[in-house]
Amino acid sequence: MIRHTIHKLWPRASVVLLLLWAPAALAGQPGAIVAQQPGFTLVPYGWVASLKGTIGVPGEDVDDGEGGLLERLDVTMDDDYDLVGFMFYGEWRSEGRWMAFIDSVWANFSRGAEVKISRLLPSSDIEATVDGNIVTGAVGFRAKDWENASLTVYGGARYYDLKLEVKARGGVLPSPITIPANDSWTDALLGARLSYGLGKRWQGLFQADYAFGDSDGTWDLSAILEYTFSWGAVRGGYRHMIADYTAPAYRLDVDLTGPLLGVAFTF
């Protein structure tokens, strides 16, 4: 399990590290680090992400249970970029070392898929859809400050409310079918964030957390560079999420990854 996770994370983590350290040559005398200042930060942003993995919907819905199909029908989706949509991040920082944040992601993907067990729907055209929300809330404590950086540790919860859908036609099917599956679950999470100054106006953020509980484990990694103004900052970076949740008639085992861009308003 650990070896499999490392194998999935390493290619993305390499890109994350490059995004963080490539601009280091721009570093001059660092400006104030936002993580060390009390106040609020609100960030609307977009995420252009790809989706790769397996989803599962009720297999008996294919033929109303008459063909003796498996309880769950698994289909796989190839890595392909798509526009996720509008996201929102909000953060509060106290006069001391405490902070709290909420991150809301709306995910919507629809693309061609392949049946994992090919004997079920031979020669069928299949389209898979993932649609719903992922909401994270956490409370953190700024554990360590350096001259140019701060380390914050946090804990909280991540809530998933996702609809999966498979549309199929052809093969052994007498007519086109649509098979929906809905489920929601909540994980506890633990994570850490490193904030550091690259120059008077440049800052970097690296954040990683692991969530566990109802699911089989999820990872969320992000690397962000921001250029600050008097009113806030423009943020760009890369985010990689791994979700793995299995139920008798529902499955989500996917990588969601890609660049993001947003505007941070600080007050």
Buried-state track 32-52, b at ≥16 Cβ within 10 A, e below 16: ebbbeeeeebebebebebbbe
- Per residue in 12-54, pLDDT (tens digit) is 554 544 444 444 434 444 556 777 889 999 999 999 888 889 9
Neighbours of 242 (CB within 10 A): 21
Measured CA to CA, the distance from residue 120 to residue 71 in angstroms comes to 12
Helix (H) or strand (E) holding 210: strand 202-213
- Per residue in 195-252, pLDDT (tens digit) is 988 878 899 999 999 999 999 989 999 999 999 888 889 999 999 999 999 998 899 9
How far, rounded to the nearest angstrom, does the alpha carbon of residue 61 sit from its chain's CA centroid? 29
- Nearest Cα to 97, choosing from 37, 48, 157, 186? 37
The pTM of the full predicted model, rounded to 2 decimals, is 0.83
How many residues would you count in the chain?
267
Q: Is 200 helix (H, G, I), strand (E, B) or coil?
A: coil
